[in-house]
Amino acid sequence: MTQSLPPIIIKNLGLQDYQNTWQAMQQFTLQRDETTADELWILQHPAVYTQGLNGKPEHLLCPDPQIPIVQTDRGGQITYHGPGQLILYVLVDLKRRKLGVRALVTLIENSIIELLKQWQIQAEARADAPGVYVDGKKIASLGLKIRKQRSYHGLALNVDMQLEPFTAINPCGLLGMQMAQLKSLLAKHSCPSLDDIGQNLAQILQSQLEQNQTA
């Protein structure tokens, strides 16, 4: 018989400082126990570069001095966050959901791919570089931290943002990688609001996590 889990909580937090949000994720993860509900946080960040644990300085090419650089504790290399980019942080108890890290990454990638299908956008994941790609360009980045089998950090989906700051880095350590965003791919449609897209994606991921639990 499958263990009954508390419902996943979805929170829409709006525009939030990166450092404060990172600390809030750490606190949540440290303080949670086996009865704590998993949470998905929908938000945006002001302009910031974040460098992962494995980040190599050579991937930071010519950054804008007005944009701070934060050394963070997620996996992966350097990336950029800014207004108009959807952030979805995934605070999940992997042990309770019987999920490995690779399986969680796949669920997140598949959720983004399913979201984009709603606009007939063909997207794919890559085995060698986590994230989601459209026509060889990267539209979504992933980076997770696992502490005591509980995840935090998550995904960043480019919706309607300034892409120029990505040209100052090798995004996620990928030399010459070009970035895509949803607005540019919706020539025949108006781009939905970031809040609506975030709620939609969070609900898709929530459903994927719940289906995995009952599989």
% of the chain residues with pLDDT over 90: 77
Residue 3 in domain: no
**What CATH number corresponds to the domain at position 159?**
3.30.930.10
Average pLDDT over residues 42-48: 98
The helix/strand/coil state of 193 is coil
Chain segment 62-107, per-residue pLDDT in tens: 777 899 999 999 988 899 999 999 999 999 999 999 999 999 999 9
Average pLDDT over residues 170-193: 84
Residue 182 in domain: yes
Residue 215 in domain: no
Structure tokens at 212: 């995995």
Rounded to two decimals, the pTM is 0.94
- In the DSSP assignment, the letter for residue 70 is E
Specify the number of domains making up the chain.
1
Burial class (CB in 10 A: 0-12, 13-18, 19+), 178: middle
Q: Identify the active-site residue in 172, 194, 201, 205.
A: 172
191 as an active site residue: the answer is no
Average pLDDT over residues 4-10: 92
For the chain, strand residue ranges (E) read: 9-15, 39-44, 48-51, 69-71, 79-81, 85-91, 124-125, 132-134, 137-147, 150-158
Residue 61 in domain: yes
Distance of CA 133 to the CA centre of its chain: 14
Chain segment 29-41, per-residue pLDDT in tens: 999 999 999 999 9
Give the domain range for residue 30: 9-210
Residue 1 in domain: no
Residue 201 in domain: yes
Of the listed ranges 114-118, 164-168, 204-208, the least confidently predicted one is 164-168
User: For residue 62, what pLDDT is reported?
Assistant: 79
Residue 4 in domain: no
Distance CA 142, CA 130 (A): 6
Chain segment 18-27, per-residue pLDDT in tens: 999 999 999 9
